[in-house]
């Protein structure tokens, strides 16, 4: 497959994304190829660990390639997206629960589907160029691919801030928020990869770790805790409007730009995960209930049109703030019966 290269090198199973021209965005076929590879290596004694990386300087993976989902949805076909997300989420769960070490080298943009690919594995390596985000509220969607689990587990209200604003995290921020494990300067990555392939020993990673850059997110945690303490988007927006810091101004601009239904759903999803702590499967099941309905019943089509297809950055959201009632949120998160995600 031209978009992904899977192979065994020495003691390592290697998965390299090879779509740098598309910022290594994940297609449906790429998700299936990753799943096939890790399934084959699970009980292969020749494979001691798995390495995830990507070609190009700009991105590990900038998300899922949702153009086909949008086109199908515009034509009234909602099942294509549902199949894509079900298969992607199953792959995410397998990566999170894999019995062998998986080392993900997360350079450049790591967004949305890229977080699902590299954000749940046992060893998440960031470098100087890393920029991680969950930008789904900006396209009328919600943080998915298990991203709600990471957001719910972030310190205090940091996850609410990241999920509602789509803010980007540098390497220090990613470590602080729990989206990464080790900072290793990228100049060391080629030699480190070669050593992992030769030895099959992931324990050498810790010795290569360096002190990460400072985290602006950590420095702002107190302000975030205060500003995002509200239980609704409206209360949070009021708090931001009353503040006068750069953080509040930027966050308020993001909230006024992003989809009201998506933000309300994100808050409720994080609240539920915190109230009944579970694992990746519980998070993915909840996310799938929204993604199953998002193309037909949400703001996904308009968000993708504005941000990705036409790129006019001027979405006309179907649901404005006054339309987003608790009943609407509950309906989007309601169980799917026999259509529930199975992992």
pLDDT of residue 304: 97
CA–CA gap between residue 103 and residue 101 (Å, rounded): 6
Mean pLDDT of the chain: 97
HSE value, Cβ hemisphere, 13 Å, CA-based, for 54? 33
From the list 253, 212, 109, the residue with the least C-alpha distance to 168 is: 109
H helix intervals, the chain: 28-41, 67-74, 79-96, 113-118, 147-153, 158-165, 171-177, 189-199, 205-208, 216-219, 221-227, 233-242, 246-257, 260-275, 280-297, 300-304, 326-332
Tens digits of residue pLDDT in 141-200: 999 999 999 999 999 999 999 999 999 999 999 999 999 999 999 999 999 999 999 999
Is residue 1's pLDDT more than 70?
A: no
Q: Determine phi and psi for 50, rounding to 5 degrees.
A: -125, 140
Tens digits of residue pLDDT in 269-293: 999 999 987 899 999 999 999 999 9
Q: Which domains does the chain have, with CATH numbers?
A: 4-339 (3.90.226.10)
Is residue 72's pLDDT more than 90?
A: yes
pLDDT of residue 276: 87
Tens digits of residue pLDDT in 133-146: 999 999 999 999 99
Integer CA distances (angstroms), 182 to 2, 103, 192, 213, in order? 30, 11, 13, 11
Is residue 128's pLDDT more than 80?
A: yes
């Amino acid at each position: 497959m031209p978009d992904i290269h899977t192979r065994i090198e020495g003691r390592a199973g290697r998965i390299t994304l090879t779509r740098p021209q598309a910022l290594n965005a994940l297609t449906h076929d790429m998700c299936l190829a990753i799943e096939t590879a890790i399934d084959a290596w699970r009980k292969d004694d020749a494979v001691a660990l798995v390495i995830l990386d990507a070609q190009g300087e700009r991105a590990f993976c900038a998300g899922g390639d949702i153009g086909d989902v949008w086109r199908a949805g515009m034509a009234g076909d909602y099942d294509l997206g549902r199949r894509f997300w079900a298969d992607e989420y199953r792959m995410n769960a397998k990566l999170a629960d894999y019995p062998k070490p998986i080392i993900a080298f997360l350079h450049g943009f790591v967004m949305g589907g890229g977080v699902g690919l590299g954000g749940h594995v046992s060893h998440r390596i960031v470098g100087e160029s890393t920029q991680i985000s969950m930008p789904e509220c900006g396209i009328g969607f919600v943080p998915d691919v298990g991203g709600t689990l990471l957001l719910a587990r972030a310190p205090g209200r940091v996850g609410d801030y990241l999920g509602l604003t789509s803010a980007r995290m540098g390497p220090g921020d990613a470590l602080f928020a729990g989206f990464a494990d080790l900072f290793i300067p990228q100049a060391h990555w080629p030699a480190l990869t070669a050593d992992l392939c030769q030895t099959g020993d992931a324990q050498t990673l810790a010795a290569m770790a360096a002190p990460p850059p400072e985290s602006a997110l950590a420095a702002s945690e107190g302000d975030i805790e205060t500003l995002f303490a509200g239980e609704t988007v409206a209360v949070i927006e009021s708090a931001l409007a009353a503040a006068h810091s750069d953080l509040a101004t930027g966050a308020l601009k993001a909230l006024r730009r992003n989809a009201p239904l998506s933000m309300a759903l994100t808050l409720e999803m994080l609240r539920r995960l915190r109230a009944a702590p579970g694992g990746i499967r519980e998070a993915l099941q909840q996310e799938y209930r929204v993604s199953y309905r998002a193309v037909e019943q949400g703001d996904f089509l308009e968000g993708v049109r504005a941000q990705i297809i036409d790129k006019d950055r001027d979405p006309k959201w179907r649901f404005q703030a006054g339309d987003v009632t608790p009943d609407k949120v509950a309906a989007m998160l309601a169980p799917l019966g026999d259509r529930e995600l199975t992992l």
